[in-house]
Structure 1
Amino acid sequence: MTSKVDEALGYEQARDELIEVVRRLEAGGTTLEESLALWERGEELAKVCRRWLEGARARLDAALAEESQEQEKDAGSGSE
């Protein structure tokens, strides 16, 4: 479950922190406990990013649907 702080993160902030988490995991040298904590944080950040991207996709889909409806309405009224 994401925290209130995570909810307030912007997409770019969450993405940048996720990149850093992945970098640290790939570099190694952390204890098992630290690695697990980093992995859990990465999962939380990935969820935040996913929500932002899903929201952006929904906004784009809505805008495209509205534009399509307006074009259909304009085409229909032009044939009368």
Structure 2
Amino acid sequence: MAKITVIGQGECDFDGQFSLLEALDENGFDMPYSCRGGNCGACLVKLVAGDVEEIQSPVYEADKGHILTCSVIPLTDITIELV
């Protein structure tokens, strides 16, 4: 089970939810999002540490070192930062 650390907000476990965004939402984190489908970029965060896997191909293209929480799952413990 991967541990998710959100800088300045806390930690939670990834328990096989559909996406990183879903895991954060279920654990009470106040995460920005709009579409949940990779089309808008509202859920963009900086991936500080760890590895993720893309589960859907987003239309919005994130800059290097950034991820869309609606479109990935953690493969390892990860640390993210809101941008």
Compute the TM-score of the two structures, normalised by the length of structure 1: 0.25
Structure showing greater Rg? 1
Q: Which of the two has greater helix per residue?
A: 1
Q: Which of the two has greater strand per residue?
A: 2
Compute the TM-score of the two structures, normalised by the length of structure 2: 0.24
